[in-house]
Amino acid sequence: MSTDSTTTDRDLGADADLPEASVNPYYLEDIKHRVSVARVGGVLYAFDDLCTCGKEHQCPLSAGRLDGTTIMCQCHGSLFDVANGAVLRGPATTALATYPVRADDGRILVRIVP
């Protein structure tokens, strides 16, 4: 995984390591940021890995249930659309940040500006 904060596209790892209908978490050490990437219908979606339910319980969405483009927080049951970050059901009220992501030459590349 690239940790060079001067690059725009960050290499998260091998595209083959993310199967269809699944989500993988990644940690960007240089900016201390967790991001998840989901593959749904062959399309990649990148979004913040930590639920927006509350600061006291920042639950990793990558451990939640993915059903199509909807992911459920394992802690409080909030539902988010990974395609656009929208809250579909609370208790969360704040949308997730989403990021441009693509597969290129067998690698998953995400664009996160620190």
Instruction: Give pLDDT tens digits for 21-33.
Output: 999 999 999 999 9
Other CB atoms closer than 10 Å to residue 114's CB: what's the count? 10
pLDDT score at 54: 73
Please write the tens of the pLDDT for every residue from 22-71: 999 999 999 999 999 999 999 999 999 999 987 667 899 999 999 999 99
pTM: 0.90
Amino acid at 111: R
Binning pLDDT at 50, 70 and 90, where does residue 114 land? Answer: low
DSSP 62-92: GGSEEETTEEE-TTT--EEETTT--EEESS-
Q: Which domains does the chain have, with CATH numbers?
A: 9-111 (2.102.10.10)
